[in-house]
């Protein structure tokens, strides 16, 4: 009850007409900056944070909250409309979202993303408000072995998305994992697959890979086939979500939130793994799994919710332990310090008014974001009425701008074109894009965690099994592998057998 009173006090100090105006400005700015390709929420916050200096802490927080959630949401817009994800957390959104847009369902995709983000952000912020100190304690005990197990689990689930040809699926996965290998080995400093190019030493940014393979590859593909296939105009669908869209969206929203929040709260959890797991999970659970790959609304609703829940979860280690686990959190931490706020275990007890104002601001920012963006969705969707040649010219422009903006290097633009060519080639040979991009996302994450776990145990293999959560997840993997096989023996063949081969990759 105490917490509730404190939160209401927070609302009381955050909810003034002037503050609401600040929040609205923040949401708009955040959305616009977030929509710009290559500028993710971290960048948006870092760019716009100077605007908050010189304001009262309360006003500054509320402006920040608007920018933060606005930036998070803005990334999904380009993913859906232009197939150019602005940051790694919205890569999964592009996969089904852009397919929906092509079928004339851009407005629904944007709406389910906006509402999903709202629900996930709200639930996430409330969880932060009520459970932060306790959660933070639990979270630090979850280490590399458990992460590795969870990722292995998601890799096993990947078999569900390999596509019709297992061989082509595994080729895609192998290409993705190879791209993920590029860069300096973190433990030994050995350069891998860099060819002596210094710019490759930090690895290849996932945004450059995704935009190259999705957007550039597709533009090249379309250009190559223009003569043979006539252009079909993108149909303009209904502006709002139908009853069916709602009923197909609400479960993925909640499941995405449930996946995203814990990962945000874990140190080094990030948003990539939960968005990816949410996508795979929805695809497994959906009764219309055949629709996946052709624009299934569940595939947008789940990952977007996971993305935003993880964004909210980030506040758990930040407020309770003073740990900035993401780039955005690091920027925010620096900002909090300028107000003399030192996050740490005693912050919530020492300066409750500021913490609760911040949390209330986040809830308000989230609500305003929905109020502003939902009506905008049908307007954004009209963008796709632009004739195809001009539309693709625009996509190429935004894709190049995005690749450049990530590190502001011309090298990345060249790299983008290389991945565009790879994207063209995999389309030509019918290699599915999804396993490829998952390999790029999951490979480096999994490697880092495995190396860390093994470093900690000084190389002993037992280091991979020394956390209860890790063992629990391994049991789940075993179940996931064994149960379908047993069931198929009992019931006869099932349409999607889970293959043991997945463990090898």
Partner 1 sequence: MWRMRRLGRRTTAILASLGVALSLAGCGVTRGDDSRDLLMIIPNSPGGGYDQTGRAAVGVMEDDDITGGSFTVENVIGAGGAAAMTQLIGEAGDEHTLMTVGLGVVGSTYSFASGYGPLDATPVAQLMSEPEGILVPADSPYETVDDFVDAWKADPSSLAIGGGSSPGGPDHLFPMQLADEVGIDPRDVNYVSYDGGGPLTSALLGSKIDVGFSGPAEFLGSVEDGELRMLAVSGEERSPQEAFADVPTLTESGIDLVFLNWRGLLAPPDISEERRDELIGYLEAMHDTPQWQDTLTENGWTDDFTTGDDFEAFLQEQDTRVSTTLTDLGLL
Residues 282-321 interacting with partner 1 (rule: CB under 8 A): 317, 321
Contact residue for partner 1 among 43, 110, 173, 254 (CB under 8 A): 43
With 0-12 / 13-18 / 19 or more C-beta atoms within 10 angstroms meaning exposed / middle / buried, residue 439 is buried
Cβ of residue 65: shortest distance to partner 1, in angstroms? 16
According to the binding rule CB under 8 A, does residue 344 interact with partner 1?
yes
Cβ of residue 335: shortest distance to partner 1, in angstroms? 9
Instruction: Specify the length of the chain in residues.
Output: 505
Residue 201 or 372 having the CB closest to partner 1: 201
What six digits make up the tokens of 104? 């004339």
According to the binding rule CB under 8 A, does residue 186 interact with partner 1?
yes
**Range in contact with partner 1 (rule: CB under 8 A) among 237-245, 264-272, 360-368, 381-389:** 264-272
Q: How many helices (H) and strands (E) does the chain have?
A: 21, 2
Cβ of residue 42: shortest distance to partner 1, in angstroms? 6
According to the binding rule CB under 8 A, does residue 330 interact with partner 1?
yes
Residues 48-77 interacting with partner 1 (rule: CB under 8 A): 50-51, 53-55
Residue 260 or 317 having the CB closest to partner 1: 317
Strands (E), 147-291: 183-184, 191-192
According to the binding rule CB under 8 A, does residue 189 interact with partner 1?
yes
According to the binding rule CB under 8 A, does residue 340 interact with partner 1?
no
Cβ of residue 388: shortest distance to partner 1, in angstroms? 27
Q: Tell me the C-alpha distance between 58 and 33, whole Å.
A: 22
Report helix, strand or coil for 358. helix
Sign of CA dihedral 400, 401, 407, 409: positive
Residues 443-502 interacting with partner 1 (rule: CB under 8 A): 444-445, 448, 452, 455-456, 458
Residue 435 neighbours by CB under 8 Å, 6+ apart: 158, 161, 162, 163, 169, 170, 172, 173, 176
Residue 1 or 198 having the CB closest to partner 1: 198
Q: Tell me the C-alpha distance between 427 and 431, whole Å.
A: 6
According to the binding rule CB under 8 A, does residue 188 interact with partner 1?
yes
Q: Tell me the C-alpha distance between 338 and 172, whole Å.
A: 47
Contact residue for partner 1 among 222, 327, 372, 481 (CB under 8 A): 327
HSE, CB side, 13 Å, CA atoms: give it for residue 263.
27
> DSSP 3-state helix, strand, coil percentages of the chain (rounded to 5)?
75, 0, 25
Contact 267, 139 (CB under 8 A): yes
- Tell me which residues touch partner 1 (CB under 8 A): 25, 29, 32-33, 36, 38-40, 42-43, 46-47, 50-51, 53-55, 88, 139-144, 184, 186-189, 191, 198-199, 201-202, 205, 267-268, 270, 317, 321-331, 333-334, 342-346, 405-408, 444-445, 448, 452, 455-456, 458
């Amino acid at each position: 009850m105490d917490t509730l009173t404190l939160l209401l006090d927070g609302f009381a100090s955050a909810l003034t007409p002037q503050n609401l105006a600040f929040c609205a400005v923040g949401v708009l700015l955040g959305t616009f900056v977030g929509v710009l390709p290559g500028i993710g929420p971290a960048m948006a916050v870092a760019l716009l944070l100077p605007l908050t200096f010189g304001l009262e802490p309360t006003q500054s927080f509320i402006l920040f909250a608007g920018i933060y959630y606005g930036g998070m949401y803005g990334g999904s817009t380009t993913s859906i409309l232009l197939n150019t994800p602005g940051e790694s957390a919205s890569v999964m959104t592009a996969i089904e979202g852009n397919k929906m847009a092509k079928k004339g369902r851009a407005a629904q995709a944007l709406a389910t993303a906006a509402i999903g983000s709202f629900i996930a952000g709200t639930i996430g912020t409330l969880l932060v408000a009520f459970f932060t100190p306790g959660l933070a304690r639990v979270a630090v005990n979850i280490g590399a072995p458990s992460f590795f197990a969870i990722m292995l689990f998601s890799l096993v689930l990947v078999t569900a998305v390999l596509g019709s040809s297992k061989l082509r699926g595994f080729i895609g996965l192998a290409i993705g994992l190879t791209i993920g290998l590029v860069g300096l080995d973190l433990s030994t400093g050995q350069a891998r697959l860099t060819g002596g190019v210094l710019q490759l030493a930090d690895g290849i940014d996932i945004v450059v890979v995704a935009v190259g393979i999705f957007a550039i590859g597709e533009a090249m593909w379309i250009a190559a086939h223009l003569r043979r296939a006539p252009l079909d105009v993108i149909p303009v669908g209904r502006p709002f979500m139908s009853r069916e869209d709602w009923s197909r969206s609400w479960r993925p929203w909640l499941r995405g939130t449930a996946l995203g929040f814990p990962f945000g709260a874990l140190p080094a959890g990030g948003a990539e793994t939960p968005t990816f797991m949410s996508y795979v999970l929805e695809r497994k659970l959906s009764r219309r799994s055949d629709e996946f790959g052709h624009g299934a609304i569940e595939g947008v609703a789940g990952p977007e919710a996971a993305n935003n829940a993880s964004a909210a979860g980030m506040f758990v280690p930040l407020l309770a332990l003073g740990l900035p686990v993401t780039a955005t959190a690091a920027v925010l931490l620096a900002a909090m310090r300028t107000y003399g706020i030192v996050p740490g275990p005693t912050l919530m007890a020492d300066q409750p008014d500021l913490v609760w104002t911040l949390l209330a601001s986040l809830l308000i920012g989230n609500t305003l974001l929905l109020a502003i963006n939902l009506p905008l969705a049908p307007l954004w969707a009209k963008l796709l009425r632009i004739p195809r040649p001009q539309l693709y010219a625009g996509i190429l422009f935004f894709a190049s701008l995005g690749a450049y903006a990530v590190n502001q290097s011309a090298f990345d633009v060249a790299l983008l074109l290389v991945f565009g060519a790879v994207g063209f080639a995999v389309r030509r040979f019918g290699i599915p894009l999804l396993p490829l991009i998952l390999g790029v996302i999951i490979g480096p994450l999994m490697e880092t965690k495995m190396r860390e776990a093994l470093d900690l145990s000084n190389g002993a293999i037992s280091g991979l099994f020394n956390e209860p959560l890790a063992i629990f997840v391994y049991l789940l993997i075993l179940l996931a592998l064994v149960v379908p096989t047993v069931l198929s023996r009992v019931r006869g063949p099932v349409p999607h057998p889970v293959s043991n081969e997945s463990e090898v990759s």
